[in-house]
Amino acid sequence: MNTALDDGLIRRNPCRIKGAGQEVSPERPVLTIAQVHQLAGAVHQRYRALILLAAFGSLRWGEVTALRRSDIDVESGAVRIERQLVEARGGGFAFTSPKSAAGKRTVYVPATIAAELRSHLDQFAGKAADALVFTGTRGKPIRHSHFRQRVWRPAADALNMKGVHVHDLRHMGNILSAAAGASLRELMDRMGHASTRAALIYLHGSDERQRKIASNLDVLARQELAESNRKRQRRPPRGTGVARSS
């Protein structure tokens, strides 16, 4: 219809709906580091590391619940994502490859989170290399709906965080990574995205970030000027030796 309109075959496009081409999604809450730790402290110890890793590793639900013991190196803080857990309709689970090639990646988590993972592996994970890191009380994969109803929602409600979703943990992790100085390419790698569209959402400017950039530029400029001045002071003036010898 737009082509017909451009070609002058019709006077107006009857298919146009005002605002239909715009997607307006509700703004998701941004959790603070303190709030994430509060949520992790309000659930059973079995699920504490899951919440912390999903946040500080920027992992999707299917990625964090598909992790095996062999995917985690607690010494370096490396977490390797090679598959995702998919829930079949009517029950059952399946392990599949990530949505795209970029989904297969390795992310590094802070040392404090690696320590939480070490404690979790010692207490709740099987000893085999292919044992799932996170399971329910019966050792089965965790179903998202059960986790939301029995673990997440009671903790969020008790902390007056109603309306906060499990996916908001990944959202918070992406924002933290951007605030920590991750470049567009680094943020894409960490999120597991092949396109820049999603990563650019988290690289929005802020007064605090702008002040940090200005402060870093000030440090760099001062260091460069100081080094330049030191080199100039060490260099003898031109022509001094010639004048004395004459």
Whether residue 9 lies inside any domain: the answer is no
Among 48, 60, 68, 171, the active-site one is 60
Whether residue 93 lies inside any domain: the answer is yes
Least confident residue range of 11-20, 34-43, 148-157: 11-20
CATH of the domain at 182: 1.10.443.10
For tokens 């997440």, what's the residue? 152
Whether residue 100 lies inside any domain: the answer is yes
Nearest by Cα to 120 from 44, 193, 176, 213: 44
Q: How far apart are CA 168 and CA 172, in angstroms?
A: 6
What confidence tier does 157 reach under pLDDT thresholds 50, 70, 90? very high
Nearest by Cα to 64 from 153, 193, 170, 154: 170
Residue 143 half-sphere exposure toward CB, CA atoms < 13 A:
12
Residue 164 has which token pair? Answer: 């906060």
The pTM assigned to this predicted structure is 0.74
- Whether residue 81 is predicted with pLDDT greater than 70 in this model: the reply is yes
Whether residue 67 lies inside any domain: the answer is yes
pLDDT for res 195: 82
* H-only helix segments in 126-239: 144-147, 153-158, 168-179, 184-191, 196-201, 207-234
Q: How far is CA 147 from CA 6, 7, 14, 39, 218, in A?
A: 53, 55, 47, 13, 48
Annotated catalytic residue 167: yes
Whether residue 222 lies inside any domain: the answer is no
Number of domains in the chain: 1
Among 167, 185, 211, 230, the active-site one is 167
Structural domain for 124, as ranges: 33-201
Among 83, 171, 190, 193, the active-site one is 193
pLDDT for res 9: 63
Whether residue 75 lies inside any domain: the answer is yes
Whether residue 69 lies inside any domain: the answer is yes
Mean pLDDT of the 72-98 span: 91
Annotated catalytic residue 202: yes
Whether residue 156 lies inside any domain: the answer is yes
